[in-house]
Amino acid sequence: MKKTLRTSETRLLLCLLVAFWLPRIYFLATEGNRARALTSLGPSILGRTVLLDFGYLGYTVFPVWFFKALLPGWKKPAIGFESLVLLVTLWSSFSEPFFIHEIQARYNFIAVDYLVYTHEVLDNIWQSYPMARIIAAFLLALGTLLFGVYSWRKPVSWECFSPGNPIGTRLRNAAVALGVVLGGHFAIAEGRTLDGVETFSQEVAKNGTYSLFAAYRENELDFDRFYPSLPFEQAWETELRERRRRPPGKLRVDRVRTRAFPSRPNVVVVLM
């Protein structure tokens, strides 16, 4: 076990695993119904959690390890890409709890929509939260993790990334990494739901960063869930009652009183 923890790849996976679970723990802790929170961690949900985390690794870490296995001299660029993956994942873990606090859901297309209005959203976040302290804590955590992964007690690499491996071994190891990448792309669907499992448990299973990029790719949102509306029958009955109260021949137009426009208005409104 100690020998395994001396490898930078194992340390990286452990750090990513902790980062994956930070938003999940927050999501569970903020659930008012503790019994519901505990029962949401069933075998099917834990299995889907592992599957989605594995899918995220297939898009991020395993492509790096493909080249690392094929080209052992590619060590420094690989460390740079691995550090970038750790940075993005950790930042997502730091920021997602604030999204959960506002929306009561994991990352989805609403978060993607926020990125379109970056200026307004950032101003609102900066005014609402102590961002200087949050950024300082993030940088401290990132520096600590990078030191622990790549510098603490001089870690080594897995044997499959050894420069002394023959070309056949390199190709075999690279093929395994490529198989994980392709398997994660074609076999794992982030938007797929489990039959008979409530929405809260489905949210627990999500991988936040994976969900964010999947929402950007799929470009869709469950409108009825986040923007509740009246059932069609009830809405139609309400409209009929309003029509009966309206005098015959009268349009439903509210009278708006405004001041006269200046003689030379400098505002032009274009209606598409």
Render pLDDT for 48-72 as a digit per residue (tens, 0 to 9).
Answer: 888 888 888 988 999 988 888 888 7
- For the stretch 48-54, contacts whose Cβ atoms lie closer than 8 Å and that sit 24 or more positions apart, written own/partner, are 48/194, 48/205, 49/24, 49/204, 49/205, 49/207, 51/188, 52/188, 52/190, 52/205, 52/206, 52/207, 52/210, 53/17, 53/20, 53/207, 53/210, 54/180, 54/184, 54/188
Interval 159-166 mean pLDDT: 80
Please determine, for residue 269, whether its predicted confidence score (pLDDT) is greater than 60: no
Comparing C-alpha atoms, which of 199, 149, 212 is closest to residue 45?
199
DSSP per-residue string spanning 173-235: HHHHHHHHHHHHHHH--TT---TT--HHHHHHH--HHHHHHHHHHH----HHHHS----HHHH
Residue 97 in this model has a pLDDT that exceeds 70: yes
Model's pTM, two decimal places?
0.74
Mean pLDDT estimate for the chain = 79
Q: For helices 167-187 and 43-70, what crossing angle results, to 10°?
A: 140
Beta bridge partners of 156: 7
pLDDT: which is higher, 151 or 119: 151
- Give the largest CA-CA distance in the chain: 90
Residue 99 is predicted with a pLDDT of: 86
Mean pLDDT, residues 187-212 taken together: 74
Residue 169, pLDDT above cutoff 50: yes
Over residues 193-208, the mean pLDDT reads: 74
Q: What pLDDT does 84 receive?
A: 94
Phi, psi of 156 (to 5 degrees): -110, 175
pLDDT for 272 equals 46
pLDDT higher than 90, residue 174: no
pLDDT attached to residue 129: 84
Q: Across the strands, what pairs with 118?
A: none
pLDDT per residue as tens digits for the range 120-138: 777 888 888 888 899 999 9
